[in-house]
Amino acid sequence: MGQSCSLSRSWKAMFVLMPTLVGLSACAPDYLASKMTGRQCQAGYLEEGEDWCAPPERTPPPQPYCTQSWNGVDCWARPELTPNMAHETYEGPRGLTPEQNANRLMMPAKKVPPSTQYFAP
């Protein structure tokens, strides 16, 4: 009776210690840093002389705002700074769709930041 009790204690100890041992494997620091920062972290980056974690993905720059003028087409990067702005010559999408941005960042669509900094006028 006493032997079966010690056997069950050792099994319990194994089930308690197994996740700890698996969590402390060789890839655990990279995995933990990746989960904490939200960026891809690998020790291989250190060998290349870079930071441990990859830089965060930045959104693509905003599309230029182009209007028709006497000399052709004029484009501005920051239309909100220009008063009395004329209508835009191109009225297509002004950035990536959430699905395209999720594909670009290789992330789930629910966790993806907005694809542009500026909203369509």
Encoded amino acid at 17, one letter:
L
DSSP secondary structure code for residue 109 in this structure: G
10-19 per-position pLDDT tens digit: 667 666 766 6
Instruction: Return the percentage of the chain with pLDDT > 70, whole number.
Output: 64
pLDDT in tens, 89-118: 766 666 677 788 788 787 887 877 776 554
Residue 48: which residues within 8 A CB-CB, separation 6 or more?
A: none
- Longest Cα–Cα distance of the chain, Å, equals 98
CA distance 28 to 12: 23
- 19-54 pLDDT, tens digit per residue, is 666 656 656 777 777 787 777 888 777 777 777 787
**Rounded average pLDDT over 47-63:** 74
Out of 61-70, 78-87, 108-117, pick the least confident: 108-117
pLDDT at site 25:
61
Q: Give me the pLDDT at residue 78, please.
A: 79
Are 118 and 80 spatial neighbours (Cβ–Cβ below 8 Å)? yes
